[in-house]
Amino acid sequence: MKLSSLQRRIGKRVHEICLHECGHAVANHLLRYGTYVLGVEKARWKHGGTLQGWCYGNPHWKRTPDLGKLLDQGICHLAGYAAEILCGVLGDYDLETLAGGQVIFHDETADLEAHFEIGVDLWRRFPEYRRAIGDLEHAEAGLIDAVHFLRPYREEIEKMAATLEEKFWASKDLYAVLFPEDVERIIGVPPSGMLSVPEAARLLGIHRKKVPALPGVVTFSGVHRVPASLVA
């Protein structure tokens, strides 16, 4: 397929934005019980246009101040950068180097600023969080956590991003969106919620020593979670 001059000029950036927003979408889908809408566009309101992406989670997701939900919220904020790391956009470096580089070069972005507020709250209220992150900066720890969380879903992120990118180039006005039904076709129906693994084990009557056998997620800060739908 012959590429247009526009595709050659901005194609790489479009690809990066799509991966970034789809990282947010997968995290929202799994931890906020759904993705409301995500998209990428070449905006017209600024002279010459500018590429931008956006992703909104389920508007009915309830924020709570407990440790697990705060960590979930942090993963959702940093999942865009985590997807870029996971999908090789930033090169082949070790995870800690990539996480630190993102914090240094993107420290004033809305994603990192939102995560910083959560990190301060976590640091102030939860000693187990302070022990877990050690000398790492909040966002470094959060990015490592988010990469580990998204790693099993790399294929779905790339497939979703390719779908969004294809819609972008097919539109006359360089504007593309994916809705919940589009996301669900790729990654399935969102779980009804996330429980801690010990809580899920209690509901299922599983002995604590067998808890690791559950299909859960181990986060950087040591919180284990499984979809509530597994024990419904």
């877990």: which residue's tokens? 132
Nearest to 83 by CA among 136, 133, 152, 178: 152
Tell me what pLDDT residue 40 has.
Answer: 94
Whole-angstrom Cα distance, residue 145 to residue 78?
9
Helix axes 5-31, 180-187, angle to 10 degrees: 80
Asked whether residue 208 falls in the same domain as residue 160, the answer is no
Pair (95, 210) in one structural domain: no
Residues 167 and 209 in one domain: no
> Does one domain contain both 63 and 128?
yes
The domain total for the chain is 2
Same domain, 170 and 131: yes
Per-residue pLDDT of the chain (232 residues; tens, 9 = 90+): 556 887 888 899 999 999 999 999 999 998 888 899 999 998 775 555 689 999 999 888 888 888 888 888 999 999 999 999 999 988 877 887 887 888 787 877 899 999 999 999 999 998 888 888 888 888 888 888 899 889 889 999 999 999 999 999 999 989 999 999 999 999 998 877 777 777 777 777 776 566 666 666 666 556 667 777 666 6
pTM over 0.95: no
One domain, residues 184 and 200 = no
Phi and psi at residue 64, in whole multiples of 5°?
A: -135, 155
Q: Are residues 184 and 196 in the same domain?
A: no
Q: What is the CATH number of the domain that holds 92?
A: 1.20.58
Same domain, 34 and 139: yes
Q: How far apart are CA 47 and CA 20, in angstroms?
A: 24
Same domain, 201 and 98: no
In DSSP notation, 27-85 reads HHHHHSS-EEEEEEEEESSSTT-EEEEEEEE-TTPPP--SHHHHHHHHHHHHHHHHHHH
Same domain, 109 and 224: no
State residue 217 phi and psi, 5-degree precision: -120, 125
Range of the domain at 207: 192-232
Please tell me whether residues 55 and 153 are part of one structural domain.
Answer: yes
Rounded distance between C-alpha atoms, residue 56 and residue 109, angstroms: 16
The alpha-helical segments, DSSP class H, found in the chain are 5-31, 67-86, 95-105, 110-125, 127-133, 138-150, 154-170, 180-187, 197-204
| 110 lies in the same domain as 202 | no
Non-local CB neighbours of 3 within 8 Å, separated by 6+ positions = 11
